[in-house]
Amino acid sequence: MDELTILNDQLKRMRGMNKFYHLQFLNDVRFFFFLTSIFLIFVQYNIYISYLLPLIALFGSVMLAFHAYYLIFSRHYSEFLEKRINSIYKKELFITHKLENRYFFPINDKKIVVAKLGRDFSWFSFVTLFITFYGIIVYSYGMYLVYNELLNLLYVYIVAGITFATLCIGYWWFVKNIGEKRLQEIYGK
C-alpha cells in the first residue's frame, strides 16, 4: 500500500468519526433538552425533582464536552492529513480544513471548548454558548430550589464541589489547550 492510500484511508476514517460525533452531539442535545424540559415541568408538581436538575445539567454538559473532545481531535487529525496529502501532490486538493477553520471555528486558536470569541465568532460559537447557558440556567434553577426550598446544604455543597472539579478539569483540558498541545507533540506544528 502506498503512502497516499494510507493517508486517504485515515482521512476517510477521521471524517467518519467527525460525522458520528456530530450526530451523537446533536442527539444528546435533543435528549437533554427533552429531559430537562420534562423535569422542569414536573418540578412544579413535586419539588423533590429539583434534586435531579443540577445533576442532569452537569452530566449533560460533561457528555457534550466529551463529544466536542472527539470533534476537536478528528478536526485536528483531518487537517494534518489534508495538509500532508496536499504537500505530496504539491497542490491544494483538500481545503475542507480551511473551510472549517473559517466557517465553524479556527481549530488552533484559543477558544472555550468549540466557541471562539472575538473576530472569529460564528453561528457555531453562538449555538455552543446558547446550549451552555441553557444548561447553566437549568443547573442554577435546580440548585436554587434545593438550597432555598428544600434547605439541603449538604447536597448543594457536594454538587457544587463536583461542579467545581469538573470546571477546573474542563478549563485545564479545553481552555488551556492541553489536549491540543498533546496532539501537536505527535504531528508537529
Output the tens digit of pLDDT for each of the chain's 189 residues: 798 889 899 999 999 999 999 999 999 999 999 999 999 999 999 999 999 999 999 999 999 999 988 988 999 999 999 999 999 999 999 999 999 999 988 888 878 778 888 888 999 899 999 999 999 999 999 999 999 998 999 999 999 999 999 999 998 988 888 888 888 888 775
Contact 183, 75 (CB under 8 A): no
- What is the C-alpha separation between 171 and 169, in angstroms, rounded? 5
pLDDT in tens, 94-130: 999 999 999 988 888 878 778 888 888 999 899 999 9
**pLDDT, the chain, mean:** 91
Please tell me the predicted confidence (pLDDT) of residue 175: 83
Q: Would you state the cell numbers that stand for residue 109, as one nine-digit string?
A: 486558536
**Sign of the dihedral through C-alpha 154, 155, 156, 157:** positive
Question: pTM here?
Answer: 0.87
* Kind plus residue range of the DSSP H or E element containing 84: helix 52-89
User: Looking up cell 457555531, which residue turns up?
Assistant: 124
